[in-house]
Chain A
Amino acid sequence: MLLVPAALSQAEYADVVINTRAEAEDVSPVIFPHWFHRIRFQCSVCHVDLGIRMKAGTTGISMDKIINGEYCGACHNGDIAWSPENCDLCHSGQAGLETGIKGGHKTAGPGIY
């Protein structure tokens, strides 16, 4: 349609790309979808109780800590959610993505999201 700008490949709002170490260590970057998690958990569960900081790339999450039950690993342990052996389910991003939250702080125009 003429009214829709072309090539608007928008990530789902509030998806977080975490690529602080992943690609450097030869795995795909992580995509964390806020929408799926906020249907199930309030903000404070991750951002207060688990200590995940509200800025992508600053928490210092690593596979060691996840396997140890910290951060994502508090739920992704095979009990509450899938275990960390399922690499592809989190490491699902395209190569070259920059760490950051998508759709954030970029007012590209009213209704663009």
Chain B
Amino acid sequence: MKRRSAAALTVGAILVAVSSLGAETWKPLSDDGLHDASNPSLEILQEPAEALVVLQPDTAGNKVNWVTALQSREINPRSSLSGDIDPEILDLDIVMTGTLPLPNVIFPHRPHTEWMGCETCHEELFVSVTGANPINMGQILQGKYCGLCHGAVSFPLTECNRCHSVRRENIIMAPASGAIREREQ
């Protein structure tokens, strides 16, 4: 009985410690290692915590789920300077099969086009033909292709299963060339 309650106490202490990390989720501007704490502008600039705490939370990056925050209309970022252009949204999944032994990757156009339209990626960063972009994880880790944004602005590359998301029973055995398929929604 004593051992069990000691174990429960330990688990409880760890949980308390982990939840207290929430208090450190967003550093104040004066302590973020970037801003000059003696700069008078820090009294005018908004603190990240103030703006981000009200948005849908996430466990990585800014600790904000930007996709669901946009979809649930918590934020309404304009798609043009004047704000009068409707964004072009495409609902089309691309399945990348050359990922074994990791699960196959699904690239969903919908959340990406909700944020970026078409031209942010096409054609300068990605050719809009399935199988035409020689993407591999090494290049992504170096900041190319998906890695241009993921790891910089959108969720970082430590979140493997957000991309490598195809269930094991649905994995497609691909030839070595890493064929890519389209999957209409």
Using a CB–CB cutoff of 8 Å, the interface residues on chain A facing chain B are 1-4, 9-15, 17, 28, 31, 33-36, 38-45, 47-50, 54, 74-75, 80, 86, 88-89, 92-95, 97, 101-107, 109-113
Contacts and interface: CB of A to CB of B under 8 A. Distances in A.
B45 A89 contact: yes
Given A14-B152, A35-B51, A47-B120, A9 B45 contact: no
Contact of B158 (A9, A12, A110): A110
Contact of B116 (A2, A42, A93, A95): A42
B117 A101 contact: no
A103 B60 CA distance: 11
Interface residues of B, number: 55
A28 B36 contact: yes
Interface in B100-125: 115-117, 119-120
A53 B141 CA distance: 19
Given A48-B117, A50-B81, A103-B151, 11 more contacts: A12-B34, A33-B48, A42-B78, A45-B79, A47-B116, A48-B119, A48-B120, A94-B36, A95-B36, A105-B152, A105-B157
Contacts of B120: 43-44, 47-48
A88 B153 CA distance: 24
Contacts of B117: 42, 44, 48
